[in-house]
Amino acid sequence: MNEKPDIKSMNITELTEFVTALGEKPFRARQLYQWMHQKLSSSIDEMTNLPLAFRETLKRESRYISLKQVQVQVSKEDGTRKYLFLLEDGNVIESVRMRYKFGNSVCISSQAGCRMACRFCASGIGGLVRGLTPSEMLEQIYRIQEDIGERVSHVVVMGTGEPLDNYENLLQFIALLCDDKGLNIGQRNLTVSTCGIVPNMRRLAEEKLQITLALSLHAPSQAKRKELMPVAGTYDMYEVLGACQYYFEQTGRRMTFEYSLLAGVNDGDEDAKALADLLKGMNCHVNLIPVNPVTEHKFRGPEPKRVLSFKNNLEKNGINVTIRREMGRDIDAACGQLRKRYVEGR
Ligand code: SAH
Residue 175 neighbours by CB distance under 10 Å: 15
Pocket test for ligand 1, best of 108, 109, 120, 338 (most atoms within 8 A of CB): 120
Nearest CA to ligand 1 atom 13: 216
Per DSSP, helices labelled H in the chain are 12-21, 26-37, 52-61, 134-148, 167-177, 198-207, 222-228, 237-251, 269-279, 304-316, 337-345
pLDDT computed for residue 2 by the predictor: 57
Q: Is 296 exposed, middle or buried (0-12, 13-18, 19+ CB in 10 A)?
A: exposed
pLDDT computed for residue 326 by the predictor: 74
Closest ligand 1 atom, CA of 297?
22
pLDDT computed for residue 3 by the predictor: 85
Q: What is the 262 CA–ligand 1 centroid distance (Å)?
A: 12
Q: For 292, which DSSP code? A: P
Q: What is the 255 CA–ligand 1 centroid distance (Å)?
A: 16
Respond yes or no: is residue 94 known to be catalytic: yes
Q: Is 79 exposed, middle or buried (0-12, 13-18, 19+ CB in 10 A)?
A: middle
Instruction: Quote the Cα angle for 292-293-294, to 5°.
Output: 110
Nearest alpha-carbon partner for 111 in 91, 132, 125, 82: 132
Bridge partners, 154 (sequence order): 105
From CA 158, how far away is CA 122, in angstroms rounded? 13
121 lines ligand 1 (CB under 6 A): yes
pLDDT computed for residue 342 by the predictor: 76
162 lines ligand 1 (CB under 6 A): yes
Instruction: Quote the Cα angle for 252-184-39, to 5°.
Output: 165
Q: Are 290 and 267 in contact (CB under 8 A)?
A: no
Residue type, 159: G
Closest ligand 1 atom, CA of 215?
8
Nearest CA to ligand 1 atom 24: 291
Provide the whole-model pTM.
0.96
Q: Are 179 and 37 in contact (CB under 8 A)?
A: yes
Output the DSSP codes for 216-283: E---SSHHHHHHH-GGGGTS-HHHHHHHHHHHHHHH-PPEEEEEEE-TTTT-SHHHHHHHHHHHTT--
Q: What is the 309 CA–ligand 1 centroid distance (Å)?
A: 22
Respond yes or no: is residue 270 known to be catalytic: no
107 lines ligand 1 (CB under 6 A): no
pLDDT computed for residue 133 by the predictor: 98
pLDDT computed for residue 1 by the predictor: 54
From CA 217, how far away is CA 276, in angstroms rounded? 13
pLDDT tens per residue across all 346 residues of the chain: 558 999 999 999 999 999 999 999 999 999 999 999 999 999 999 999 999 999 999 999 999 999 999 999 999 988 999 999 999 999 999 999 999 999 999 999 999 999 999 999 999 999 999 999 999 999 999 999 999 999 999 999 999 999 999 999 999 999 999 999 999 999 999 999 999 999 999 999 999 999 999 999 999 999 999 999 999 999 999 999 999 999 999 999 999 999 999 999 999 999 999 999 999 999 999 999 999 988 888 999 999 999 999 999 999 999 999 998 777 777 765 566 777 777 777 6
Q: Is 186 exposed, middle or buried (0-12, 13-18, 19+ CB in 10 A)?
A: exposed
pLDDT computed for residue 196 by the predictor: 98
